[in-house]
Amino acid sequence: MTDMEHDTAAAGAPTRSGFVALIGATNAGKSTLVNRLVGAKVSIVSHKVQTTRAIVRGIAIHDNAQIVFMDTPGIFKPRRRLDRAMVTTAWGGAKDADLIMLLIDSERGLKGDAEAILEGLKEVPQPKILALNKIDQVRPEDLLKLAAAANEMVKFERTFMISALSGSGCDDVMDYLASALPEGPWYYPEDQISDLPMRQLAAEITREKLFLRLHQELPYASHVETEKWEERKDGSVRIEQVIYVERDSQKKIALGKGGEAIKAISTAARKEISEILEQPVHLFLFVKVRENWGDDPERFREMGLEFPR
């Protein structure tokens, strides 16, 4: 079929749309996969576990389907209130989706959290597919054993072998999703890749740069909020953000000696936000101490999380 014939066939086909919840243990590669499938950076990616706090939706168009990805927080054993909120949100996201995609790190297999998630999935009624990630790191016979073990625990419609990093197998996933979602109109305008407000996305990018720079010194007791967003007449945007930490000692770490840490974080974040907005960005970062922000219900609402009682 020529490209023109394919376009004509697609034009006559009914549109499909739906929500796909991507779940998995922390660091299984969910954010990397969403960014790969959507083709743009919409979900924070970091080597720190538990970086995706709220459900970030990336929107992809494939054939005649609009696929809305719900990138849920990694599901793990929660200890703090923030952890509990993230897990509650993850399972809530799964129950709201048309289809659930479980991502398993092939290297780690069913150890720890992956097995617990499979147990939890037994109770979820939606159709489910399995994606084994990082397949280039594992022998083919071990992949087959892993696929068989997971399918014994949960009935998956399909199993895919993929690499979120290289993109191997991702086209097959998209072809399947585009045909499996229900017929119906699209939820979002075609040019809208994410319904996460730009202010929040900008805050997520800064938080990622903060983690990449200070992942050894600064624990999870940090949060970024975009406080001011001013579109200027010259076509640029002025953004003011506050990095909240819980103690003065953490504020010193975030600023760095002579302010070098905050300057480097600001430069890296400004460059990436500017690339996404496709306009010049003036970024101003401030660090403030707010004790016990992790127990404040308002902070949870701003992050799109349910506050656990």
pLDDT at 46: 43
At which residue do the structure tokens 């760095």 appear?
256
Residue 168 lies in a domain: yes
Residue 30 lies in a domain: yes
Of the three residues 118, 145, 180, the one that is the final residue of a domain is 180
- Give the annotated binding-site residues: 24-31, 71-75, 133-136
- Chain-centre distance of CA 185, in angstroms? 24
Q: pTM surpassing 0.75?
A: no
pLDDT at 212: 85
Structure-token pair, residue 72: 């849920």
Residue 6 lies in a domain: no
Of the three residues 134, 149, 180, the one that is the final residue of a domain is 180
Q: What share of the chain is helix, strand, coil (3-state, %, to 5)?
A: 40, 20, 35
Answer yes or no: do 210 and 67 share one domain: no
> Looking at residue 204, which CATH number applies to its domain?
3.30.300.20
Answer yes or no: do 43 and 129 share one domain: yes
Q: Please give, one letter per residue, the 3-state secondary structure of 43-87.
A: CCCCCCCCCCCCCEEEEEEECCEEEEEEECCCCCCCCCHHHHHHH
Q: Are 86 and 5 in contact (CB under 8 A)?
A: no
Answer yes or no: do 234 and 298 share one domain: yes
pLDDT at 295: 61
Q: Per residue of the chain (309 residues), what is the pLDDT tens digit?
A: 334 433 433 556 899 999 898 888 877 888 788 888 887 666 544 444 444 444 656 788 899 998 888 766 655 555 555 555 555 655 666 667 899 899 999 999 988 778 878 887 887 788 999 999 999 999 999 999 999 999 999 999 999 999 999 999 999 999 999 999 999 998 877 766 655 567 777 888 898 898 888 876 765 557 888 888 888 899 899 999 999 888 888 899 899 999 999 999 999 999 988 887 778 999 999 999 887 656 665 555 555 555 455
pLDDT at 81: 56
Answer yes or no: do 94 and 209 share one domain: no
Domain count within the chain? 2
> Looking at residue 141, which CATH number applies to its domain?
3.40.50.300
Residue 94 lies in a domain: yes
pLDDT at 205: 87
Q: What DSSP string describes 13-32?
A: SPPEEEEEEEE-STTSSHHH
- Give the annotated binding-site residues for GTP: 24-31, 71-75, 133-136
pLDDT at 297: 58
pLDDT at 7: 43
Domain that holds residue 41: 16-180
Indicate the SS3 state at residue 227: strand
Answer yes or no: do 165 and 243 share one domain: no
